[in-house]
Structure 1
Amino acid sequence: MIPSDDEQAIVASPPRGSLRDRHGPSSPTRSRSITETVNGSHKFVIEGYSLAKGMGVGKHIASDSFTVGGYQWAIYFYPDGKNPEDNSTYVSVFIALASEGTDVRALFELTLVDQSGKGKHKVHSHFDRALESGPYTLKYRGSMWGYKRFFRRTALETSDFLKDDCLKINCTVGVVVNTMDTYRPHSIQVPESDIGSHFGALLENQEGADVVFNVRGERFHAHKLVMAARSTVFRNKFFEEASGTEEEIVIEEMDPKVFKAMLHFIYKDELVDEDVLAASSSETSIFDTLAAKLLAASDKYHLDRLRLLCEAYLCKGINVNSVSTTLALADQYHAMELKAVCLRFAAENLSAVIRSDGFEYLKEHCPSLQSELLKTVAGCEEECSSGGKSQSVWAQMSDGGDTTGRRVRPRI
């Protein structure tokens, strides 16, 4: 059922931090594929080279196995060569996959060490150059990579690579591995802040209290540091004015229940229970409600968060009958958010608002707000002075007549 003009009420949007967004947006995950080599080296010393010659083509001397990238490897040295077609003209050197594996991709480096100290090693390496087809792939156990014609035998036996009938071969293997670096946000549930309960306990047990407020005869014990931290007005009073050393402060212009509710906010950073606020809502005038008096206190003591909390509470009670007096209240205590809501609501429901009792209060006590309401209806100040519909609206707001002075029934 659609409510009548007199029954319309504002519907506030869900407050920040409501169930809809309490947990916030889910954090994005991300992943990264990393392809790199796991490198390892092995030094193989072959003593008694002259004795190894003649063992036969295709026969080898094997190093001890060594592990790189999770696989076993070995160096094979063929004194008489691996290929029968070379007729023992060359020595052959290979690196073999010595453990089970399938399609193992790797880079290799073989170095025949110059034993003269000149550093002129014979190096075959894939690490310092790009390979057209990428790293080599060893299909299965026993697969090898190397050189059938690694070095001519006659040249080797007269070179600095052979010393004291000994050869030294260094081998480096780089096994290609792929890893997935995945980031998944982890969350730890953190309870809501409980600082308010701790400070609230401080207020209730009065431990360390160093100032007393005498509010119309009712005494409230408090802490100067807490009051000063929350309000610049109290900070100036306690620490900058000459009277800041007094231990009892008399306040006559505020009801004790309002001061108690203000202390509740100062220490706990929240409004008193809504039941307490609602109990005063039956007052004849909105100005007499606890929420309105707290709004006044927030303005007096520069408690900006308390002001917004009061505005949010009062906003929920806006309707055709209350919007005018709520607008006056908001204007008096600089509640700009509440004032903007009231102006917008009154402009959207102007015909019904003009007929309300509250609008008579607005005309009598806050004539300047009628101009602001008119600007909200018209959209801009220039439109208000251009006649037309804006002029007829102004006539209705001022005396219920049209621009010719005739009494008419308000129509928007």
Structure 2
Amino acid sequence: MSTAGAEQLNPDSVSITVMESVNGSHQFTIKGFSLAKGMSPGKFIQSDVFSIGGYDWAIYFYPDGKNPEDNSLYVSLFIALASDSSDVRALFELTLMDQSGKEQHKVHSHFDRALEGGPYTLKYKGSMWGYKRFLKRTSLEGSDFLKDDCLIVNCTVGVVRARLEGPKHYGIVLPPSNMGQGLKELLDSELGCDVAFQVGDETYRAHKLILAARSPVFRAQFYGPIGDNNVDRILIEDIEPSIFKAMLSFIYTDVLPDVHEITGSASSSSFTNMIQHLLAAADLYDLGRLKMLCEVFLCEKLNVDNVATTLALAEQHQFLQLKAFCLKFVASPGNLRAVMKSEGFKHLKQSCPSLMSELLNTVAAADKSSASGQSNKKRSVSSVLGCDTSNANVRQVRRRA
């Protein structure tokens, strides 16, 4: 290899120029728009001067148009450079805001589209970019752009600049956050703990302030109007010890705990069962992030053996997204019969009979979608589920199916 080639592959120094745009926006409101009629072409209403990317700018609105030859048929809209500068390259966007809430704005933009000639260059103070025929006056006066005789214009400017990145000879490596680890060590060591929880045969010590910071329920229990900050021991009767321990671990770390480690079991079914109970505990203590983590896990691990118990849990605690996911899973033609044979489904029919009607609707909707174009192939939804169809709602679903 030649010496020149080696130098190209292994340079002694490097630098990078980054072309970028510094963006900012300004909103200009014109009140009493009707009073601006008859100003004559070439006369304008100007916004206040605003700064973006190190330069000053102003919006110019011409109620009777900028050109006399247009006979006041159009309104004109421009953005102008207000700084004493030259050759400023920028991207622009001028928007006439739809005030009806439909978001049908009138937009002219450089952004998010290919630029054949590159950014626009403003050569001196007072240079403008915009449209002489931005919109017909008749279209404007009968539109949703006007509300209560008020007009709103939004302008976005992206000033183009070159930024040189030279070689970095030194740097400081930022370590990852270890706050959760520190708090967990505080929990494990019981240092400074001021409350104990008796859960079955186990006792777990914790810190009231940390619990109150993470759970609105604990906050009310310790520091609410009817709470007791002096309590130092609490009996927990409706949660298993391992579940409560897992919940405490999350409160201190903000991470879904290693349930395998807590339970000492590698069984997938026992893992899922514990997450179900952890979800119920998270709901009891209003731990929003833990609820979401548990729901995501249960959706990912959903199968014909656990969907019925998961659906019952979702119905009992009104986890609507998890419930909808379970219903669609059960209604799938490949899953329905297998789910019906599970022990969990028998329990579901007894504990949540109202769910059968919703499940019928979901199955009927799936049937209608999959049977499109197959009118000769029919099945009775109610007979598949083995449900009583005397209910009027079920009869209606059966007729649609």
Computing the radius of gyration from Cα coordinates, the structure with the larger value is 1
TM-score, with structure 2 as normaliser: 0.48
